[in-house]
Amino acid sequence: MIRRARFTDIVAINDIYNYEVINGTATFDTEKRSLLKAISYYFNHQSLAHPLFVYESCDRVVGFCSLSIYREKSAFRSTVEISLYVHKDHRNEGIGATLLSYVIDYAKKSSEITNIVSVITSENESSIKLFSKAGFINSGIIDKCGKKFNRDLGITNMYLLV
C-alpha cells in the first residue's frame, strides 16, 4: 500500500536511506543522516507540491519516494526532484516501479508540478532503466562530479514533463 508518510515513519525511512549512505552509491551523502535531519526532511515534504510517500508491506515501510524543491530560485518552483529508495531486502519486487508510477500520477494531477527531474548516479543502471521505462528522458551525464568510496562518480540527469 502506498500512502503519505507519517511522523511515525521517520525512523524506517531514515534506516532505508542510511543503508544506502553507508553501503551504496544511490546517494552522494557520505555520512549517515541524523534523526534530527530526518525529521527536517519529513517536515520539508508536507506540501502538496513536495510530498513524501511510503510503500508499506505487512505494516512495515519498505520504500519511500519524495518530490523535493529542485532549485531555490522561484522560476524553478514547478520543477521537482524525485528521490526513490527501496529497502535492501525488498528490491526486485516491483516496489520501485509501483512507487514511481504512483508519484508520476500524483504529479500529473497537480497544478503545481510541470517537470520531474531525477539525478541518478551513472553507475546505477537499474534506476536509469526504471526511470527510462517510466518515460523519463536522459538529458545528459556529468562525469566525475562526486567522490564516494574513493571513486569518482558521475550523474545521469533525467526528466519527465507531466
Q: What is the mean pLDDT of residues 34-49?
A: 97
Q: What is the pLDDT of residues 44-92, one digit of tens each?
A: 999 999 999 999 999 999 999 999 999 999 999 999 999 999 999 999 9
> What is the 8-class DSSP label of residue 46?
B
Phi, psi torsion values for 142, nearest 5 degrees: -115, 110
Mean predicted lDDT score pLDDT of the chain: 97
Tell if the pTM clears 0.85, that is, is over it. Answer: yes
Kindly report the number of other CB atoms within 10 A of residue 63's CB atom. 24
What pLDDT score does 102 carry? 98
